[in-house]
Amino acid sequence: MRTYKQIELIFIVSVLLFVCCSITAAGFNLPQKQFRVEIAGDNHLQFKKYFAPKWELPEEFDTTIANLLIQSLPKAFDKGSKEMISHWGKSALRAASKAVRVLLIKNFNPAHQQILLTYTWYSAAPGFGDQYYDERLALLTILDTSSRLLIYPPANPCEKCADLTHIGMGDELRIGGQSAVSIFFNTSNKNPCCDTSRVKEEVYMKYYILNQSEMKECLTLLQQRTERFHIFKGNDSTAVYTATISYNKDQSENITSVFSESNVASNDEILKTEIHSYSWDKKRQLFLQNNR
């Protein structure tokens, strides 16, 4: 039976191996930083005309508007996606493509609207599109005379790794008297560019406040991590971290505190259980971890 010190060592060795192997991994995924794009003129007017009457997600996203949103992306994403997919082979690169979908529409007033988006870069070649792709979260803010597009980095930015990110909509919430959302960031080093004998998959839950100027991150929690690797006298090992997240709310349905109850297991044997709590800090507009 393995002790906790052994599983702790497994995690440490695994991290070191991923760091060492990532040194040459540049160009295997999309840019990892935040981008800001100002949009005016005809493109802004088309966004405003299309989105202004909408209060719910469109059943079918207009292809002209979708193409305009894709064309609004910084050139770094064209370069990054070509580099990424080129490592998957020539057939994959020939079928390189990108798409955008709407996650949420938030109306503050007739002259102020926010559209939460996910951009996807993938290859339409058989065997790629349904499992290998990289995504970025974005916020389109439509004002009276101009629009602004913010593209956010992945949950755990890593400039020299091969991790791919898949994004999913969580819940609409209230935090600090403001509208908020939770977003899933699923990351994995399962990338056709590289060796996957050591597999790492993670699920992060990020919480954002939607205020009138931006989308402000106020808490990030690791919800799951699975690592499978070959170590220790030739035995295969699986290390799993899982967390259950719960909330306390006030009478106005604002989340006032968040609880994360986590387990660490090795080969299905639970080795450690912890509970962490986070309380809302009104002044800093963040959830801060409580002292243990």
* pLDDT tens per residue, range 239-257: 999 999 999 999 999 999 9
Has residue 290 got a pLDDT over 50? Answer: yes
* pLDDT tens per residue, range 26-44: 588 888 899 999 999 999 9
Q: Is the CB of residue 254 less than 8 Å from the CB of residue 271?
A: no
User: What's the pLDDT score for residue 24?
Assistant: 45
* pLDDT tens per residue, range 122-145: 999 998 988 899 999 999 999 999
- Please state the rounded mean pLDDT for residues 95-107: 96
User: What's the pLDDT score for residue 195?
Assistant: 78
Q: How confident is the model at residue 206 (pLDDT cuts 50, 70, 90)?
A: very high
Q: How confident is the model at residue 16 (pLDDT cuts 50, 70, 90)?
A: very low
The pTM of the full predicted model, rounded to 2 decimals, is 0.86
Q: How confident is the model at residue 80 (pLDDT cuts 50, 70, 90)?
A: very high
User: What's the pLDDT score for residue 212?
Assistant: 79
Burial 92-111 (b: 16+ CB within 10 A, else e): bbebbebbbbbbbbbeeeee
Has residue 105 got a pLDDT over 70? Answer: yes
- Please state the rounded mean pLDDT for residues 50-61: 92
User: What's the pLDDT score for residue 13?
Assistant: 38
Instruction: Please report how many Cα atoms fall inside a 13 Å half-sphere around the Cα of residue 223, on the Cβ side.
Output: 19
Distance between CA atoms of residues 249 and 258, nearest Å: 9
Q: How far from each other are the two terminal CA atoms of the chain, in whole angstroms?
A: 29
Q: Which residue in the block uniquely carries the two structure tokens 């949420």?
A: 104
Distance between CA atoms of residues 241 and 233, nearest Å: 23
Has residue 234 got a pLDDT over 90? Answer: no
- Helical pair 41-51 and 63-71, crossing angle rounded to 10 deg: 140
Q: How confident is the model at residue 231 (pLDDT cuts 50, 70, 90)?
A: low
User: What's the pLDDT score for residue 14?
Assistant: 44
